[in-house]
Amino acid sequence: MKRLAILFVLAGLVWGAFSLMPEPQAPPSRPAVAWPRLAPEQLLRAESTTGNASFVLEKEGGDWFISQADPARRLRAERGKAEALANFFNANPPRRSLVDVDVRDTKQLKAYGLDAPGKRLILADTATRYTLAFGGKNPAGDAVYATLEQDPAPADNGTGVVYLLGANWLEQATTADAYYDLRLTSLMAQNITRIRVDNQDIPVELRRTGPAQYAFAQPEDYAAYPVSSLDAERLLLDVVGLKGQLVPQTSLSANATAALSLSLWPMGAETPQQLQFFPVPGNNAQYLAKSDWQPALLAVDRTAVLKVAPDPFLLRDRRVLSFDPAAVQSQRLAFFEDQGLTPREVVLMREGGTRPAEDLPSRDWTRQDTNATVPGLDLLLWRLSESTFEADAASSRPAAARDVLRWTLLDIDGATLKEVTFAADPGLPEGQCWLIPAQHATDAPTTGQENATYYPVTDDVLQQALDTVFHARTPASSF
């Protein structure tokens, strides 16, 4: 019992000693580093100096410009990239501040590479100018020492502190090239209501008459022709997609004459935006571009310029046929392999009998004589429906024309949707043939086509049809 009492006393002493000990204190938390915030839409200016290279981004009237040492090289800057500097500033505050470093002590600054900063970045908004100076990296290499000065200085006098920033700060605003907006116009294709192309030859002018609808204003003798909406919109997209390259030349000679001029009228505007293209002596691969929107000259590749100088003929709606390929239920093709002989004829049916094409699980075609599947015919029908003439049509049958293929398309009820004849002619340019639509689709097939119109088209659809259905090419006897 005496031993037990001694144990109880010892246990009490131990418990009392632990209860009187002070509770362990948590390690003091590092206070958050004070860091200002920039509103991207209020950013007005950014200056970057890395070594001997420097440039300035400046906002004027909602637009951004970039300039370097030569003021004549002032160009547009991409707004999104310029304002992204403010977002980066906000998203990448310091990891910590070195409160023990005296920024007035040159020796201390030298230890962090801040006595002669290798990079400076100045950001200015409507109220404050922020100057960041970057020194060396930390031993781990994942952060950089920097100072931040604010003008006017904040009330808490945060200026004069050495910060540890992420090393990705050194990758910001390193070169001017990253910020150039080298477009020749900021207009969007859908907002252009009128375009005029002057290329010292035939002026071409298109006016938008409705959604995806256009009309010729020039040349005057084209006013009666319909415009291909697809080609008109492709032209507008090519124009707004024009981009240039930097060139050392900053001015044009006094006698410079534009080889091509574009006038673009945006929606609701009476005055057009002008783009001009000048030949470069000794350089056939590029033009010098002068734009109302860009403050400096840019070089543009010749191929891009030629795409926005179209032949008015190519802007016409040159489609020969009008039918819905999905409505075709059967086809009858007659191949005139030898002139004067009975043509080889093949009838093709959609698999599934007479059900409408949209109800079919498969769009395969089969030959009626062999039940063999013939692949690729839906694409071929679509290409036939998109056939365009390569020159003005002939109203009478050319003397040297020889029929090669008669193609009849029928609907689900067996009625003729379209009938066309392809004819070869040695008088046409290589790679072309005649496409002759029947005047009346419901008439019985004819061979003379005396009243038809003859359209010169590329022969790729003819050759593909012969190869797919007859495993043949245009017979040499046709020429």
Least confident of 96-100, 275-279, 329-333: 96-100
Q: What is the pLDDT of residue 443?
A: 42
Q: Answer for the pair 275, 196: CB distance below 8 angstroms, yes or no.
A: no
pLDDT tens digits for range 226-266 = 999 999 999 999 999 999 999 887 788 888 999 999 999 99
Tokens 């090239």, residue located:
177
Mean pLDDT of 167-187: 95
Name the β-bridge partners of 365: 350, 374
d(CA 316, CA 8): 110
Distances (CA, A) of 19 to 12, 16, 22: 10, 5, 8
Using a cut of 0.95, tell me whether the model's pTM lies above it: no
Sequence-separated (6 or more) residues with CB below 8 Å from residue 133 = 114, 117, 119, 120, 146, 147, 149
Q: Answer for the pair 427, 398: CB distance below 8 angstroms, yes or no.
A: yes
d(CA 83, CA 125): 11
Name the β-bridge partners of 166: 143
* Residue whose C-alpha is closest to residue 37's, from 97, 96, 123: 123
Tokens at residue 238, please? 């090519």
* Residue whose C-alpha is closest to residue 463's, from 431, 438, 441, 439: 431
pLDDT tens digits for range 342-399 = 899 999 998 765 455 455 445 689 999 999 999 999 999 999 999 999 999 998 889 9
Mean pLDDT of the chain: 86
d(CA 199, CA 197): 6
Mean pLDDT of 168-184: 94
Tokens at residue 320, please? 């020969």
Q: Answer for the pair 457, 322: CB distance below 8 angstroms, yes or no.
A: no
Mean pLDDT of 85-113: 89
